[in-house]
Amino acid sequence: MSATRTVRLVWFVTWFNVRMLLASEFFILTTFITPLIFASLAFLLFESGGRQGGQTLMYVALGTGMMGVWSTTLFGCGGAIAWQRWEGTLELLVNAPSRYDFILAGQTMGAVVLGFYGIVATLVWGVVLFGMPLEATFPLILPLSLFAAVVSLGSLGMLIATTFVLYRHANALGNLLEYPIWLIAGLLVPIATLPVWVRPLSWLLAPTWGMEAIRGAATGTEPPLLAIAMCFGLAVVYYVLARVMLVVVLDKARRDATLALQ
């Protein structure tokens, strides 16, 4: 399969999945409404603590936006393979001439891309309701930071999709993993304030570096090159792990004849 066809396939599935998710009330809530509610809550909390400066508002807006991205990634990717099973398309996709991991990559990327709307929404929310100044210290690096975050979260989404499928109730795992990642990825609470043993866990997570890359470009004093490099590095690691998991899971499903079973 040529590189052009691969890119076209991933792009098509990404766009298709964005449209599919837009038809779901749950994802409308997770992507469009939840980040705004958490942004309001966080703005009020920081205001209550007497911290209302532009930098604080930007910190909160980006953090709550990334919380929305994580939720959409978690729920959108966690059930990705299971949904294909329910819809009866998994067997067809696995047996199609196109590589299934590219299809899954497009699907998880769709969830992540939709999730990134959350950051736009919380920024606009901050500007309109809380008078947040909209400025970035490294505006030219910001698009690269966003791209790195999307790629790393998309790869993590693939890993989530291929591991959650082993658990029958993927949504329950989603309910479990929303808050802890918000916490240990330092989206609203700096990692430095968490116990020391938590920090290595934070370093393994794409949201940590994605947030660092975006915040660094928006409010940092130096270009967030390390964070951007970590996003791409982690994306490769996640993709390799996801690919291995996918081969194991699909092989097991074929051997046990459970590919289409719910």
Q: Is 26 in the site for other proteins (CB under 8 A)?
A: yes
State how far the Cα of 151 lies from the Cα of 31, in Å rounded to an integer.
18
For other proteins, the binding residue among 5, 8, 169, 252 (CB under 8 A) is 169
Closest distance to other proteins from the beta carbon of 176 (Å): 4
User: Burial of 54 by CB count in 10 Å (0-12 exposed, 13-18 middle, 19+ buried)?
Assistant: middle
Q: Smallest Cα–Cα separation from 238: which of 209, 199, 205?
A: 205
State how far the Cα of 109 lies from the Cα of 243, in Å rounded to an integer.
15
State how far the Cα of 106 lies from the Cα of 84, in Å rounded to an integer.
14
- What value, to the nearest 5°, has the Cα angle with vertex 149 and ends 15 and 55? 120
Q: Is 131 in the site for other proteins (CB under 8 A)?
A: no
**Alpha carbon of 250 to those of 88, 159, 177, 235: distances in Å?**
15, 14, 25, 22
Residue 5 vs 168, nearer CB to other proteins: 168
Closest distance to other proteins from the beta carbon of 209 (Å): 20
Closest distance to other proteins from the beta carbon of 239 (Å): 26
State how far the Cα of 110 lies from the Cα of 154, in Å rounded to an integer.
8
- Which residues inside 177-216 make contact with other proteins, applying CB under 8 A? 178-180, 182-183, 188-190, 193-194
For other proteins, the binding residue among 10, 14, 20, 46 (CB under 8 A) is 46
For other proteins, the binding residue among 2, 3, 25, 140 (CB under 8 A) is 25
State how far the Cα of 18 lies from the Cα of 109, in Å rounded to an integer.
9
Residue 85 vs 228, nearer CB to other proteins: 85
Closest distance to other proteins from the beta carbon of 14 (Å): 24
Residues in contact with other proteins, counted by CB under 8 A, come to a total of: 36
Closest distance to other proteins from the beta carbon of 107 (Å): 21
Q: Is 44 in the site for other proteins (CB under 8 A)?
A: yes
Closest distance to other proteins from the beta carbon of 183 (Å): 5
CA dihedral over 63, 108, 114, 36, signed as positive or negative:
negative
Q: Is 175 in the site for other proteins (CB under 8 A)?
A: yes
Query: CB atoms < 10 A from the CB of 149, how many?
Result: 27
Q: Is 22 in the site for other proteins (CB under 8 A)?
A: no
Both tokens assigned to 47: 């205001």
| Interacting residue ranges for other proteins, rule: CB under 8 A | 25-26, 28-29, 33-34, 37-38, 40-42, 44-49, 51, 167-169, 171-173, 175-176, 178-180, 182-183, 188-190, 193-194
